[in-house]
A and B are shown apart, each in its own frame.
Chain A
Amino acid sequence: MLAELDTIQTEALAAISGIDDEAALEEARVGFLGKKSRLTEAGAGMRDVPADLKKDVGQKLNEVRNAITSALEEKSATLTARRDAAAFASIDPTLPARSLPKGGLHPLTLVLDEAVRILRRMGFALAEGPEIETEWHCFDALNTPADHPARNETDTFYFENGKLLRTHTSSVQIRTMEKEVPPVRIIAPGSAFRRDEIDATHLSAFNQLEGLYVDRGVTLADLKGTLEYFFREIFGSKTEVRFRPHFFPFTEPSFEVDLKLHAAGRAVKWIEIAGCGMVDPAVFTEVGAKRGDSAYDPSAITGFAFGMGIDRLAMIMYGIPDLRLLIENDVRFLQQFRG
C-alpha cells in the first residue's frame, strides 16, 4: 500500500510538471485528486488496512495528497503568471499619452499669487475697493491738488455722473481706513485705468498691488525692511534694491524702488519696480474728517504705503517684451507658464 502511494505521487508530480496549459492542469487535478482518482480509491481502501498500519498509511495518504495539491497550485500560479504577462506583453509604453487636455493659469495670476503669498506670510490681509470710484477717494483724500494733471479728462476715464475709473489702487487705502481702525496691514491687488493708447508698454487697464501699514510708530526703516524682504523673496535673496527719492501727493517722504536687473544677454541695469513712502499726514487728516473720529490722528500714528505694477513684475519675471501679450490670451503664449 505504502509503495503504491509512493508510485502515485511520483507519477502525479512528473505529469504535473510536464503540463503546459490551464485546461490540462484542470484535467490533471481531476485525474489525480478527483473522486475516481487512484489516490481517492486508495483512500477508500483504508478500511482493508490492518489496524497496526492504519496510522502510517493514513499519514502517507495525507502527505501524497498535499504534495500533489501544492504541485498543482504551483503549476497553476506559474501558468497564471504567464497568462497575465502575455496579456500585457503587447503594450508599447513608449507610445505618446492618451490625451487629457492641458490648462494653466495666466502669468499675471501666477505672479500676483506669489506676491500675495509672500505678503500674507508677512502678516498682510487682502482688501478691496470699487474700480468705479469717486473723485474724492481717488484724488481728494489722497492729497491730490484740485488742478492736478492726473485729474484731466485726457488722462483719466470719467462717467457722466462724475465718477471715474480709479487711476491707482491707492483708493483702496482710503476705502480701508474709512472702515477699519489701526493697526491696518493690508494689500490690495486690482485693476487701475489710465487713458493711454495701447502699445507695447502701455495698457488702458493695468494691474497693481497696493500695500498699506498704519499703526503707532511705523517708520521709513520698516518700509525699507518690508520691501527689501518682499523683493528678495520674489526675485531671490541676492536681489539688489535701491530707494530713489521721488514725489507722490499721498506719501511723504516718497521713494521709487529700483531693482537691479540681470537679464541674459543684456547690460545690467536698474529698473523701476514700485513707488512707496510714508503716508502723508494730510491723508490721515482727510480720512479723519470723513470718519469724524480721531482714529487716524496724524500726531499719534504713522504709516507706510507702497504700490507696484503686477504687469511689470510679470514682464520682468518671465521676460515678456510686450504688454499686449498679456491681454491677447493666445494659448501659445498662455501655455508657456504651466511650469
Chain B
Amino acid sequence: MNVSLQWLSDHVDFSEYSMSQLDELLTFAGIEVEGIQSLPDHLVVAEVLSSERHPDAEKLSVCQVDDGSGKPRQIVCGAKNYKVGDKVPLALPGCVLDAGGGKTFTIGEGKLRGVDSLGMMCSSKEIGLGEGADGLLILPATLKPGTPLRDVFPAVFELEITPNRPDCLSHLGVARELAALAKKPLKGIAHHGVSTTPVKAAADEITLSSETCPYYTARLIRGVTVSESPSWLKVKLESIGLRPINNIVDITNYLLMETGQPLHAFDMSKLDGGIVVRAAADGEKFLALNGEEYALSSDDLVIADKTRAVAIGGVMGGEDSGVTETTTDVLLEAAYFTPAAVRRTGRRLGIHSDSSYRFERGTDPLQVAGVSDFAVKLILDLAGGKADPELLVAGSLPDGPKPVALENDYCRAVIGAPLTDETINGILTSLGLTKAGEAWEIPSYRLDLVRPIDLVEEVARVYGLDNVPSHTRATFSAASKADEAYDFMRAIQDRLASLGFYETRNLKLISAAQLSDDLATTHRGMSPVRLKNPLNDEQDYLRPGLIPGLLASASRNQRFGRHDLRLFESGRVFTAPPKGDEIEHEHLALLMTGARVNRSWADGKPSALDLHDLRAVLEQICPEGLNFVPVDDTRLLCACSIEIGEGKKASKLGLAGIVPPARARELDIDAPVLVAEMNVKKLMAARNADPAHADLPKFPGSSRDVAMLVPRDLPAGTIAAFISAHEEPLLQSFELFDLFEDSDGVKLAKDKKSLAYSILYRSSDRTLEAHEVETAHSKLLDSLKSGLHVDFR
C-alpha cells in the first residue's frame, strides 16, 4: 500500500522526523517499508508561456516556460494535452529520472531536430507517479513556478501491511498506529464512526438476502454535477499513484485510502428499482467496470436492482451502472461484507480491487455510517446537489470485538522480561484499548485482538525486542534417528568428496521425459508421483530417483566443456504404491564418466573410467562384502544389483551399470557413463555399526597360486562365490591377481580367459606344515575342477 507522507501529516505531525527515522518507526511497528519513492532534485513546477510548432517537426512544439528563475526557458515537447498557462512538471538539466528496469537517465541540454531544448516537461509516468493519463501531468494552477515538485508530491512509502492488521490499510490507520508508537497526538478525528444523519430502516428500498452482507447502507444525493476534481484532491490521489476520474469517484477513492472503508457510487438513473443484496444465480453474467465479463456462481454476492446485478458485493461495480459525466443522481453505498465471502469470490473470479483487498481482510463495521456521512459532505461540497435527509440502512451491525482479559504475569512470562504493570497498561492504553475491570475493551477496528496472547503480542511489539534482555537456556538432547542418519550421510559425503566427487543438488521436480532415466523404481506397480497443478511440463513429477537429475547435471557440464565428471547426490525420492500413502526414501547416487585421471605429464593418455572404477568407489563407501550381481535390466548395460553378502541373505542396496550409449549421446556425452543408485536406509542397515576387536593371527599363513583357464563368459563372480562356499577351515582369503584374455587368439583361445588367484591358508593355533597346505589346496583344485570344469595352467 502506498502511503503519502503529506497525507499522513493531515493526522500526525512528523515534521521533525527524518526519512530514516520514519522508516524505522514503521519497521518496528511491524509495517515493512518495501520502498520509499521520493521525487528527484531539479524537478520543478513550470508554467507554459508559449507553444509554437517546431519548424522541422510536425509532432513537436517549441515552448517557452517559466521555471521560476525569472528568465524564460526553451523546451521542445512532443505532448499535445497542455495549453498555454498550464502548470507542468519540468525536469531541469541534471535531473536524474528513472528509466525503468533499474536504469536511470540524466536530463541534459540538447537539441531536438536542430532546436535547443533545455530540459524536459514530464508525464506522471516519467516522474514515477503512477501510470496516469497520456501526455504531460497538468498540475494545480495555484502552484508557483520554480516550486520543487517534491514539495507538491512529498515522499510516498510503499508499505507491506501484514494480514492481521487490516486497520492499517488506510492513511488514518497508519497515522493512528504511528501516533501511538511515537506518543504523538492524532490530529482531527481518530475514527470516522460518528454519523449525525438520521437512520431509516429501509426494508422496502433494500432487500438483504445473504448472510455475507449483514449491514448495508445507501444514501441518495440528487442533482450533482459530475466534473473534474479540484486540484487538492487530484494531487492527493496522484501522489499515491491513483488516477483521478471525476469528483464523485475520486471522493470514494479518497475516502477508501483515508479511512479504509470502501464506498461505491451508483448512477441512480441506471438502477431499476430498489437495491437487492443477494447471492448470484449460477451462471449469471456480469460486466464489471474493468471491462471484463464474469460468470458468477451462487457462492458470489451481488448488489442488484430489480432486473440485474449492478456490482459484485465488495469487489467491483458494474460497467453500466457507475457514475459518468451525465450522472445527476447518485446512490452512495457504504456496507460491511464478511471477509471470507469477499475473499472467496475475489479468488474464484481472479478479481482484486482496492475494495476487495480491504473487505477480505476485515473492515471496521462501526465506521460505515460515519464514512458515508463524510463522503456525502464532500460530494455536496464538490459536486453540489441535495442529499436525502436519511441514511437508508438494512441489516444490523455485527458484534464488535469482545473484551479480552490479560494477566500481566502471563505477559511477563511469555516475554521473559520484568515489565511493570505500568508499562504493560501504558502500551495497551496508547493503542486505544481501555481497561474495564479485569478486561480490556478493544477498539472496533482492531479485529486481531481476540485472545490474551494477542495483547501480549502488542506489548512485545511496542516494547520492542531490543529492550528485552537476551537469555539462553539449553536442554540436553539425545541423538535422534534423524541425527544418526544425518551423520551417516555426512561421513559418506566427505568420503566421496575425497574420492574426487562433486556433490550436486538437483530440483526434486522433473519432467515426464526424464522419468525414463530413472533407475530407482524397481517394483512393479510402483509409479512416479505426479503433481496436480505443475508450473510447467518441465516440472510435473516428483523425482522417483536421483539419476535423472545427475544425468541432466552431467549433460550441462559436458556442454560447458567439462568431460571428466564424478558427481554424486543424496536426497529424498518419491514413489507411489498402487494403494496407500506415497513413499519417501533417502537415496544416494553416483555418476562417473570420462578419463580415470586428468591428462598430465604423468599420463598423457589416461584410460576411460569403467565399471570396475565405479565398483572401487562403492567399496570405499559400502560395508565389506560388496558384490555386483548381474541382473536383467534394459535401462542399463551391464546392469548389476549392488549387494552386500552372498546368496539369499544378501542385502540388495540398489543398481549399478552403464547408461546406454545412445542415451548418453543424446545428452552430449561420448564416453561411458557409469551410474549407481542406492537406498540409504538399506546401506545404513548393512553396515557393521558396532565394530569389535578380534585377535590378530599369531601364526603365519601360507599362500598358493592357481591359474585357471575358463570359458571367457564365465563371470569371475561365479568363481569367487564358488571359492567362498568351498568348505575348508584353513582357507583364509583369496585374491584375483591376474586376468589374461587374448582377442587375437594367439596366446590363448579367443573363447577362453586365464584367471590367477592367490589363496591364503592359515590356522589360528599353529604354523601349518607344508603337507597340510598342499592337501587343503589340492582339495580346492579338485573341487574347482569338478564343480566348475576349469583347467589349470
Contacts and interface: CB of A to CB of B under 8 A. Distances in A.
B106 interface: no
B499 A101 contact: yes
Interface in B532-590: 532-535, 539, 542, 553, 556-557, 560, 562, 564-567, 572, 574, 582, 584
A224 B508 contact: no
Interface in A93-125: 95-96, 98-106, 108-109, 113, 116, 120, 122-125
Interface string B406-417: 000000011111
Contacts of B531: 157-159, 165
Contacts of A326: 505
Contact of B582 (A100, A132, A188): A132
Contacts of B506: 327, 329
B477 A99 contact: no
Nearest to B572: A131
B529 A159 contact: yes
A125 B598 contact: no
A123 B535 contact: no
Contact of A122 (B474, B501, B556, B567): B474
A42 interface: no
Contacts of A222: 416, 471-473
A233 B772 CA distance: 66
A228 interface: yes
Contacts of B560: 330, 332
A153 B348 CA distance: 11
B532 A159 contact: yes
A102 B426 CA distance: 64
B501 A158 contact: no
Interface string B470-492: 11111111111011001000100
Given A125-B477, A244-B30, A108 B347 contact: no
B457 interface: yes
Interface stretch (A5-13, A71-79, A213-221): A213-221
Nearest to A203: B507
Interface string B450-476: 010110110011000110111111111
A159 B757 CA distance: 56
B81 interface: no
A43 interface: no
A95 B601 CA distance: 9
B475 A226 contact: no
B557 A105 contact: no
A220 B507 contact: no
Interface string B73-110: 00000000000000000000000000000000000000
B164 interface: yes
Interface in A51-104: 95-96, 98-104
Given A160-B532, A225-B470, A281-B451, A99 B598 contact: yes
A20 to B, nearest CB: 35
Contacts of A132: 529, 542, 574, 582, 584
Contacts of B474: 122-123, 185
Given A101-B500, A159-B530, A247-B163, A329 B556 contact: yes
Given A183-B475, A221-B415, A229-B472, A329 B493 contact: no
Interface string A195-235: 11100000111000000010101011110111011000000
Given A104-B497, A247-B163, A329-B556, A204 B507 contact: yes
A145 to B, nearest CB: 8
A334 B483 contact: no
Contacts of A109: 493, 503, 505
A96 B600 contact: yes
A127 B486 CA distance: 10
B469 A221 contact: yes
Contacts of B465: 220, 224, 243, 255
A126 B417 contact: no
A138 B432 CA distance: 35
Nearest to A191: B508
Contacts of B603: 98-99
A245 interface: yes
Contact of A329 (B340, B482, B509, B567): B567
B457 A253 contact: yes
B749 to A, nearest CB: 38
Given A157-B534, A195-B535, A204-B509, A96 B601 contact: yes
Contacts of B469: 221
A48 interface: no
Contacts of A131: 508, 572, 574, 584
Contact of A246 (B30, B475, B482, B508): B30
A291 interface: no
A163 interface: yes
A242 B32 CA distance: 14
A204 B557 CA distance: 22
Interface string A146-184: 010100110001111001010000000000000000010
Contact of B413 (A127, A219, A242): A219
A105 B505 CA distance: 10
Contacts of A215: 475
Contacts of A280: 453
B466 A243 contact: yes
A116 B529 CA distance: 30
A197 B535 CA distance: 7
B497 A329 contact: no
Given A102-B500, A103-B499, A222-B416, A185 B163 contact: no
Contacts of A153: 532-533
A252 interface: yes
A261 to B, nearest CB: 16
Given A222-B473, A243-B465, A247-B164, A106 B503 contact: yes
B414 A147 contact: no
B534 A103 contact: no
B565 A331 contact: yes
B493 A331 contact: no
A328 interface: yes
B446 interface: no
A106 B566 contact: no
B496 interface: yes
B628 interface: no
A280 B164 CA distance: 14
B269 interface: no
Interface string B723-740: 000000000000000000
A125 B480 contact: yes
Contacts of A128: 482
A296 to B, nearest CB: 15
A130 interface: yes
Contacts of B500: 100-103
Nearest to B477: A125
A185 B454 contact: no
B529 A185 contact: no
B602 interface: yes
A103 B557 contact: no
B32 A252 contact: no
B298 interface: no
Given A205-B507, A229-B472, A252-B454, A302 B413 contact: yes
20 contacts: A102-B500, A103-B499, A103-B501, A103-B502, A122-B472, A122-B474, A126-B482, A132-B542, A158-B533, A160-B532, A183-B475, A213-B475, A220-B414, A220-B415, A242-B466, A245-B28, A328-B553, A330-B556, A331-B502, A331-B557
Interface of A: 95-96, 98-106, 108-109, 113, 116, 120, 122-128, 130-132, 147, 149, 152-153, 157-160, 163, 165, 183, 185-186, 188, 191, 193, 195-197, 203-205, 213, 215, 217, 219-222, 224-226, 228-229, 242-247, 252-256, 278, 280-281, 302, 326-332, 334-335
Given A105-B497, A131-B572, 15 more contacts: A98-B603, A99-B600, A99-B603, A103-B503, A105-B503, A122-B472, A132-B574, A204-B509, A217-B413, A220-B414, A224-B468, A256-B32, A278-B453, A328-B556, A329-B505
